[in-house]
Amino acid sequence: MNIKNKLILSHILLILIFVIFWISYSFIGYKEFQEKTQLLAYNSLKEYSNKLYKLTNKYTKPFTEDYIKLKTKFLALKLSKLIIEIEKKGKSIEENEEINSLISKLFYVGENIVVGYSYLLNNKLQIIASPNKSALRTGKQTWKNKFPKLYNLMERAKKNGVSHGYYKFYDINNKGDISTVGKKYGVISKIPKTNYFLGTTIFLKNYNFSKKKQIKYYEMEARKKAEKKFEFHSRSILFDIHSKTVIIFTIIFIVFIFISYWFAKTISNPIQKLTEKVKGINTENLNFSMGRDEYYGTTEVKELSTAFKFLGDELMEYMDNFKQEVYQRKLIDRELEVAREIQEFSLPKVMPGFSKPEFDIYGTVNPAKKMAGDFYDFYYLTKTKIAVVIGDVSGKGISAAYFMAKTQTLIKAFCLEEKNDPSHVLTKVNSILSKDNKSYMFATVFVGYYDITTGILTYANAGHHAALKLKQNNTIFEFGEQRRPALGFFADAIYETKTEQLNQNEFFILYTDGICEATNSEEELYGKVRLLQSCTKNRNPNIKKMISGIVKDTVVFEGETSQSDDITVIGLVRVI
């Protein structure tokens, strides 16, 4: 798709996005208006329902009291005839089924909600018939202690023939604690022409709940009607908004298409000309020029044309410099390759006749770069004594390789002079390296003289790691800790000589810090623990296989992670 069509399409997309946002904003505004209006209506309806409930309580309360009084009076008259007939026959009032049936009828309101009940009292104010069987034979003293207000009603009824009023009741749970506290309205009336009293009571909570539920029903009906009205009103508003939006969008869309086409044509034509010119640039022809009639006075295209011309000139100069730099790099790489070969050649190799039946020795270096900063060496000092050397030079690259070669050469020269005391060798080498050490380079070195007949290792350490001794029982012992400074720091440093006995089938291992500081993809260090485990795991009378196995474990641990430091390991085993 060319730039003209892209510009037209981008403008169309912009206006579409603008309209979508506009519609969305309008819709959100409409929804907010609708929600706020509905909330206001619901709150008003709720307030109205609460007022209605209060008014209902206010004006139905007297009606409720009169209803209970009439209910009691009517039932008392009905019971009067029955009791008189039963007493004439000499039968028990308490055991009469018809009386119990009348007394046991509960008062219901609405959907089978129990709101009240009746009970029959004798002249001693004991309940002899009631829907609540647990209350039968409840005595006068019980009423007086637990329900004093109800007791007062009973006493007034006994005295005046009838009484009524409000009192509290308490429900007792299985533990004997009060579980519910409520309020009742009761009427107690003397049954005409008898010595019995009829009590009628109503649960105000249940009665009021029924009224409140009925009002809630009316509220829900009113809310449904309001919701339908709001929905119809909202749809009308939304339809008007959408209609106006579509009309305005259509007008803007048509106008914008014309503007976009003109704008795209004005911008794209000079750019297309510029593109054709740029296509002519290649490695053989970096010249670029564009006339005024080709960019039509467009400032941006003119600046681009100038920039491309400048870029072409710069590229020509850069290509010349680049060719020279590539040539120089090839020379440096060749020199590094030669230096690496020389460095590799300088490392000792176990030639036929070097190892003897008494011992075997092997060493290896894995450089992190082309030039290593680690080195090792071993050579005969006498027919029965060999020097074993390992070192780690600070830094990397050519400077480290030069310092390493210098250090290695000096050590070997002084070892061949000082064949009994390696500490004197380190002292002399340090004195030379410390002078005029403007680059502040240093080297950690471990020098050991091994007597192949006795198995005694005489050694000195200049800031290097302790050596490892793998015993016959597969335990590892470290010796020769780094208590003296590295070579190149202090010209007057003095080093000390110590000895260690190597018995039959025991191994002497030296290494540089590159093996312990090897890192895997999870940034874990290889560490000394893994090194020690690798030594016991790879234990082998063939010292070459053993050292190769230790280095291989390190490489496997690193995985895809690039090697950060040189890894050098040298090992010696006493065979007999």
**Tokens standing for residue 189:** 């009336």
69/200 Cα distance (integer angstroms): 8
Structural class in CATH, domain 93-204 = alpha beta
The stretches of 280-298 forming alpha helices (DSSP H) are: 292-295
Say if residues 170 and 146 touch (Cβ distance below 8 Å): yes
Beta carbons within 10 angstroms of residue 69's beta carbon: 15
What's at 100, amino acid-wise? N
Domain boundaries, the chain: 93-204, 280-346, 349-574
535/553 Cα distance (integer angstroms): 10
What's at 479, amino acid-wise? F
Residue listed under structure tokens 């060749």: 334
Give the largest Cα separation in the chain, rounded.
150
pLDDT on residue 574: 96
How many Cα atoms occupy the beta-carbon half-sphere of 16 within 13 Å?
A: 7
How many Cα atoms occupy the beta-carbon half-sphere of 477 within 13 Å?
A: 14
Distance (Å) of CA 322 to CA 309, 315, 327, 328: 20, 10, 8, 10
Structural class in CATH, domain 349-574 = alpha beta
Say if residues 110 and 213 touch (Cβ distance below 8 Å): yes
Average confidence (pLDDT) per 10 residues, the chain, 576 residues: 64 72 63 65 66 58 74 90 88 85 76 80 88 79 82 89 84 54 86 92 76 67 70 70 74 77 72 69 59 57 68 70 70 56 57 82 86 88 96 83 90 96 96 88 96 97 96 95 91 95 96 93 94 96 95 93 89 94
Distance (Å) of CA 154 to CA 73, 80, 116, 190, 521: 16, 19, 18, 10, 93
Q: Is the dihedral of CA 404, 410, 411, 413 positive or negative?
A: positive
Enter the pTM of the model.
Answer: 0.47
Pairing type for strands 507-511 and 567-574 reads antiparallel
pLDDT on residue 215: 63
Say if residues 517 and 537 touch (Cβ distance below 8 Å): no
